[in-house]
Structure 1
Amino acid sequence: MAHRQTHAALDLDRSNPSNGLPLPLPSPPAMNHLNAPYQGQGAGAHAMVPMLHQAPGARDTEANRKESLYLSHLEVRARMPLMMNSITGQYQGFVRSYRDYDVVNCEYLRTFNTQVEESTDIPRTDEQYSDCIRQLFEAATDYRTTTESAKSTALNKLKRGDWSDLDMELILWPLLVATIEAQNGKCRLPRYASNAKEKYNNFDTFADRFGYICRILRECKDVVASLFKDATYRNRLAWRPETELKQKLTNRKLNGSRSRKGEATEENVQEDKNDEPAGAGGKSRGNSSKNKRRNSENHETPMKKKRRTSSSSPADADADADAEADAGTPPGWAGDSLLSSFNTSSDEEMTGN
């Protein structure tokens, strides 16, 4: 009854605008209990839970009881070292609700934040955001200056139009957000998607970090493809663009070496078949099963040499790969392509992302 009187009072106010009070919004159509006031203000998804008419004291008690069931940021922050070091392999129940997930995940990522100086050139308006997306879009879709070969899978995906304009924009907006947060030292990269060697790459300004990422997208389409394949890659690229670029270039060099070794092995196998002496009736001499076994071993050679580069041993190959990854900053910006110093004669599908 009180609810109807409230609506009647609102109708009376609307019919008498001369009282000087602002006119209230029209009442929504009655939908049983869904027309009841919502619990809380500005509480996100929890603000959309309707509350039935209750006595004020009962409502407060119920809200407090439910609130006490959730984890607080301070509580999670204090328990985070214990939770992160738990490796029992048994369910612990650290996260008990959707709301707990938000709190725990926020505090978990907070542990990887880094102290940085404030950047004054962070975009803050819709116009600035839109301009950044335009620059990222043009860099990602422009393949005129890429150094990748015509066999590049990612390059051919772009040329075929496998990703629509909307697909590209929707994948680039999260990258922009991740770049802004990374420049502010706010980590969005969980520990399970990283390792101890991959540290934060510092840039003096947002423009420096953003420009570096744009240039990577323009010259390395494998990076563009990785944004579509791995949801964590945008955070990796924003947090440590230099490290991710060096990893891509190392993978490219290793794959090029494997491809050349595989082609050489296939040629040797074919030559052995052509040089096989013929016996009576034109059949090859010798034990046929032995020949098959030898050819099979020749075909398996590329798999055995999977980790090899131009070095003479697998150990040397691994050392070369590590040295390549730690080679320092990629080529400078003064007219050099980021990929110009790497062998790009073969550009097959890369390992990893």
Structure 2
Amino acid sequence: MNIVKNLVSPSLYYCKCPYSMNPTRIVVHNTANDASARNEIQYMINNRNEVSYHYAVDDKEIVQGIPENRNAWHAGDGGNGLGNRQGIAIEICYSKSGGARFDAAEALAAKFIAYKLKEKGWGIAQVTKHQDYSNKYCPHRTLDKGWQRFLNMIQAELGQTTQSSPSTPSAPNTSSGEKYSTGTPICTNTLSVNCNGTGKVYTGDWSGTIGRVIKGAKYPYRVDRNGVAIGWTNNTGIDTDPHTPGGSQTQAVQTVLNSVPSDFIRESATFYPNITLKIRKAPTEKGIDTGLYYSNGMSVRYDGYVKREGFVWISWISASTGERRWMKAGVLNSKGYNTNPYGRFI
């Protein structure tokens, strides 16, 4: 398969791909904008942000930016997460507006993923999505159109039989190597923010259905309730008590896992600062200073913002730590408008 290579310079390995990697899976993303594959890769290698991905696929071609034997920061599950440290990241382009260009990009991505599965001797179980590692709704447009539908596209390229109903829980799959299988109703007393346990772990009382199994993970079972992922658990946390816990604790944990305050306004865009700005752990000048910053010539892709203390605070999930970060991006006037931005929003 023809792949255009535009590999990041080894001088940027320290921030883009600092670790050697023996990949065990593919992680699918949507770019959330309308740039071509070449532009996506060029943008990535031109900045110093800890955000990176191995391939970008548009409607015409596949472009590689990170060698497959190096890790990338894309899954939001921390410095030792399975997604970040073992996943080949594939970004599908043109997902912001969708339409024919996105459909063609998705079709080419399915063909490319099938090619990779054959090349490495993997099966469809090695195809995962960003959401499996950090609960971010990504690949957003692919999920909107149906994740099983996309897996079916890959299986068709492999010449395999596909599942006909994405809404029906899959049958028990002992090939996962874990005790429980997808579609199994469970109760659990433990929920982790992500599958590798690098985020917070909560104790309580929850019920749901196993929506995903990641073999070998510290918390291999994703717990779904009413179609929403509420966290990850393991064999120790699962019990056979047939009770059905109330929904209040589940909702509380879901709010924590989303990691956004009630006044959070979702917006997917890129900010280009024109001054040096500190990165904090909370949207307040009293928030813990991470010691990191963004300055002129750099950029950050954010997923929302709040208005507090007379400022606009943009926010995003750090690819290297899996934690939410905050940064002032402008000054509000008396009517609550950002009349003095600290850079450009695109």
Q: Shared fold by TM > 0.5?
A: no
Q: Greater strand share, 1 or 2?
A: 2
Name which one, 1 or 2, has greater alpha-carbon Rg: 1
